[in-house]
Structure 1
């Protein structure tokens, strides 16, 4: 199905999710802005109760798209390709302008042109401008992953371990699951899932080295919940059980791992190795 310029604010034929979870009370005036994208979209604006049923689905999708970038500017062409791929450029730009204007008025009633604090334009890019005090799981996750990479490279194992724990605390599940198989979210969803699974497996290995067997097992299990095909997580989980004296749990883990390898077609000789 194609979309013409007479069909504003519509994107590809993807089933629209339910409105996001909203939680804000008038008494929250001193609370921070909260944006969560992992495990489901959630927005809290201090002192505001947002009625998303009054906003078109494409406008909600625009907010989720900007939120998923963690406050980074997103070029106009990227937004058009993601949300209005079937429209001519001119029609897509008009839809984008309408969507941005609608979103600004919804988030900040009465805001005058060019004075929005949250949905800003930066040249030909747009961003959800999050204050430093805001809590954004995507931004926090990326910062934690960067801190892990930076500190493990510098030999700061303790700081790297803390960063890994923070990354996993932020990762509550797949990125924007309510957007289903929409092309614009799939690649980032897979990338974050891979990073989270790697972080969990790495944390498990660090905990095992430090002798925290319970911590190693917990981190390995978390990694396998995210990605059940990670060899390193399976191996650490079995080793943690073995070292803790729970030989039955270690045997069960190795059997489960062997079943996974069989489903992948790994030869028995390689599995034994």
Structure 2
């Protein structure tokens, strides 16, 4: 049972609205933090979490649910991602054990069926994040969505602000601790591509507005994420040129030429 064969299930689940949730037991402010970019972090206010008490598979389940930023995930997708080697019945038992472990760890003393954090609806599970919680994946997606809504409207400042918000959340690859696990690779690549596109677009907006230093910074950020983006290289060279730093512009064009040669392709005219 491969993860990629469940696109129909994934689409059906994604169409369902994210359930409204109440606050986590004892939660009274915005300091609950869930981060997946650049390394996993979950912080609950007033609690010192000892992750050594949780088995690796249960921790992987938590990271998997966190990466879906509060959206329900169908049981089949979870089993395919985390227990692909097990028969379905054994996988379901392992999933139930993992869920119970997380509930007991995150909400000590919670009674069966009363968890406010790891929730179940039919055959789907999700990490029920309070609305005041800080979740980098959720905030990144919201920032990108806000940017896309402004494209073509002429609202350049709103477009740039949405991109800045999205990029502020992207601290690096999605869940690097999960390595080349099949379930995370495609999502990691998707977020990396989206972040690089966001940085390149922000650089172009800053250049258009005449903000040369911030255009340079955004272009460099995009190239740190994806060193093969022509648009980021172009903006970086042009921003240096407009700032009167012809030497930096020439170095940028030369560096991009070297990148292209490693790919065995010729560069655009501006990089000559």
TM-score, normalised on structure 1?
0.87
Deviation at 1:268, TM superposition (A): 6.3
The whole-number CA distance in structure 2 between the counterparts of 1:268 and 1:106 is: 54
Q: How well do the aligned residues superpose, as a CA RMSD in angstroms?
A: 1.5
Q: Which residue of 1 aligns with 2:39?
A: 40
- Where does 1:153-172 land on structure 2 (aligned, <5 Å)? 153-172=152-171
The whole-number CA distance in structure 2 between the counterparts of 1:233 and 1:267 is: 17
Q: Which residue of 1 aligns with 2:145?
A: 146
The whole-number CA distance in structure 2 between the counterparts of 1:207 and 1:272 is: 21
Q: Which residue of 1 aligns with 2:82?
A: 83
The whole-number CA distance in structure 2 between the counterparts of 1:145 and 1:83 is: 28
The whole-number CA distance in structure 1 between the counterparts of 2:250 and 2:271 is: 14
Does structure 1 residue 211 correspond to structure 2 residue 213? no
Q: Which residue of 2 aligns with 1:242?
A: 241
The whole-number CA distance in structure 2 between the counterparts of 1:240 and 1:269 is: 17
Any idea what the Cα deviations from partners look like across 1:70-89, whole Å, max 9, x if unmatched? 11110000000000001000
Q: Which residue of 1 aligns with 2:125?
A: 126
Deviation at 1:264, TM superposition (A): 1.0
Deviation at 1:30, TM superposition (A): 4.4
The 1:72–1:181 alpha-carbon spacing in structure 2 relative to 1, beyond 3 Å, is same
- Where does 1:68-79 land on structure 2 (aligned, <5 Å)? 68-79=67-78
- What is the DSSP-based 3-state SS (H/G/I as helix, E as strand, rest coil) of the residue aligned with 2:151? helix
The 1:31–1:202 alpha-carbon spacing in structure 2 relative to 1, beyond 3 Å, is closer
The 1:208–1:191 alpha-carbon spacing in structure 2 relative to 1, beyond 3 Å, is same
Deviation at 1:153, TM superposition (A): 3.4
- What is the DSSP-based 3-state SS (H/G/I as helix, E as strand, rest coil) of the residue aligned with 1:127? strand
Any idea what the Cα deviations from partners look like across 1:127-165, whole Å, max 9, x if unmatched? 000010000000000000000000123332211110000
Q: Which residue of 2 aligns with 1:184?
A: 183
The whole-number CA distance in structure 2 between the counterparts of 1:218 and 1:93 is: 48
The whole-number CA distance in structure 2 between the counterparts of 1:215 and 1:170 is: 18
Deviation at 1:122, TM superposition (A): 1.5
The whole-number CA distance in structure 2 between the counterparts of 1:210 and 1:162 is: 13
Any idea what the Cα deviations from partners look like across 1:19-60, whole Å, max 9, x if unmatched? xxxxxxxxx964521000000001110111111101100000
- What is the DSSP-based 3-state SS (H/G/I as helix, E as strand, rest coil) of the residue aligned with 1:153? coil
Unaligned runs of 5+ in 2: 1-26
Contact 2:236 2:252 in 1 (8 A): yes
Contact 1:119 1:128 in 2 (8 A): yes
The whole-number CA distance in structure 2 between the counterparts of 1:236 and 1:205 is: 6
More deviation, 231-240/28-37: 28-37
The 1:181–1:175 alpha-carbon spacing in structure 2 relative to 1, beyond 3 Å, is same
Unaligned runs of 5+ in 1: 1-27
Contact 2:30 2:132 in 1 (8 A): no
